[in-house]
Amino acid sequence: MPLDNRTVRLALCSTVVLAATAACTPEPENRAGDKPATASSCAPGKLATVASGKLTVGTDKPAYAPWFQDDDPANGKGFESAVAYAVAKQLGYEKSQVAWRTVPFNSSFAPGAKKFDFDINQVSISEARKKAVAFSSGYYDVRQAVVALKSSKAAKAKTVADLEGVKLGAQVGTTSLDFINDLVKPDQKPAVYQKNDFAKSALKNGQVDAIVVDLPTAFYITGAEVTDAKVVGQFDNTGGTPEQFGLVLDKESKVTSCVTGAVDSLRKDGTLASLEKKWLSEAVDAPVLK
């Protein structure tokens, strides 16, 4: 049955409206971080990095030994410098393709977009920090330790309870400070410093009885920087799961799984253990403060 002119006009109008509606319907946003990194995105040297063709690595300045040497992260010397380059190689980037960026310790895991692909700076993995940033798997199992001048009353401590009556200090935002507040619970409020350099100066000047740092740093301080100090002891692992340093990444990073895969491979093939032996061999056993 032939259609009259009115019916044809209505059909044409409906078609036009439907086409216009379809053309104006917004496409779903493809936001960074909506999907995890895929296997193809981990192709050697072809990651979605902040600078094309380069791997940008962050760390603080000064860059302390034994994690770095000569305050120069780019020289490949020191445990964390060596780990960074080992991870880079695993991801397909040569040493010349690694760019270092200065990032203050607290800024590395603060909320907000990052200008690095990963940061390596003795940052302990924690649930609280995971709310703001992403982490790789752990590249180093760490213990916290107490350093005191040999003449200080803190130097005679054998237990955690022995530290309750002494003046302790630590760098702000660190698990070292957490151990003081949550485990020792000293009678005096701990002194808090922006950098470990300031904490070491306070120790030298007798402004605090002892400071808390990670164990390798404790051995370096007493062996090379404050030679009239001693490693009093280390804290026991009370949580069941060891404290670990992890590489810090942007919360929305698309390369987190790739970086984690690289760290896992380096642990599995013995590279991390070899680098630890080479650069942290001075951090030997210390008494455990029960």
pLDDT (tens digit per residue) in 220-244: 999 889 999 999 999 987 666 789 9
pLDDT mean over 117-144:
96
Residue 211's φ and ψ, nearest 5 degrees, are: -125, 155
Coil, strand or helix: which one is 89?
A: helix
Please count the CA atoms within 13 angstroms of the CA of 91 that sit on its side-chain side: 33
Residue 129's φ and ψ, nearest 5 degrees, are: -70, -30
In angstroms, the CA 108 to CA 130 distance is 12
Burial code (b: 16+ CB inside 10 Å, e: under 16) for 134-158 equals bbbbbbbebbbbbbbbeebebbebe
pLDDT of 41 reads 77
pTM: 0.80
pLDDT mean over 153-176:
96
In angstroms, the CA 68 to CA 61 distance is 10
pLDDT of 23 reads 36
Judge contact between 271 and 75, C-beta under 8 A: no
> DSSP letter string over 142-211?
E-EEEEEETTSGGGG--SSGGGTTS-EEEETTSHHHHHIIIII--SSPPEEESSHHHHHHHHHTTSSSEE
Q: With a cut of 80, say whether residue 196 has pLDDT above it.
A: yes
